[in-house]
Amino acid sequence: MSTENSEEALLADLQRYLRESDFAHLTDSDQPDLTAMFSDLAGLKIEVKAESRQFKATLDTLAAAVDALKSDNQALAEQLNAATENLQRQCRERERALLLEWVDIYDRLSEGYKTLQNYSPVDALFNHSKKQDVRFIEAYAKGQEITLKRFEQMLQRRRVFAIACVGKPFDAHTMTTLDIGHDPQLANGVVLEELRRGFLFEDQVLRLAEVKVNKI
CA distances to 89, 95, 137, 156, 188 from 83, rounded to whole Å, are 10, 18, 53, 29, 49
Helices 34-118, 3-20: crossing angle, 10 deg rounding? 150
**Residue 142 CB neighbours (<10 A):** 12
Q: What is the pLDDT along the chain (216 residues), one digit of tens a residue?
A: 555 666 677 777 777 776 776 656 555 555 556 677 777 777 788 888 888 888 888 888 999 899 999 999 999 999 999 999 999 999 989 999 999 999 999 999 888 888 887 776 666 555 555 677 778 888 888 888 899 999 999 999 999 999 999 999 999 999 999 999 999 999 999 999 999 999 999 889 999 999 999 998
Name the 3-class secondary structure at 207: strand
The rounded distance, in Å, linking the Cα atoms of 212 and 216 is 13
* Alpha-carbon span 152 to 198, nearest angstrom: 13
Check if the beta carbon of residue 31 is closer than 8 Å to that of residue 23: yes
C-alpha pair distances (Å), 169 with each of 31, 68, 88, 165, 183: 112, 60, 35, 8, 14
How much is the pLDDT for 139?
85
How far apart are the C-alpha atoms of 198 and 210, rounded to whole Å?
7
Helix (H) or strand (E) holding 144: helix 130-157
Q: Long-range contacts made by residues 151-159, C-beta under 8 angstroms, separation at least 24?
A: 151/102, 151/105, 151/106, 151/109, 152/106, 154/102, 155/99, 155/102, 155/103, 155/106, 155/199, 158/95, 158/99, 158/102, 158/201, 159/201, 159/202
> Which of these, 49, 45, 36, 43, lies nearest to 11 by C-alpha position?
45
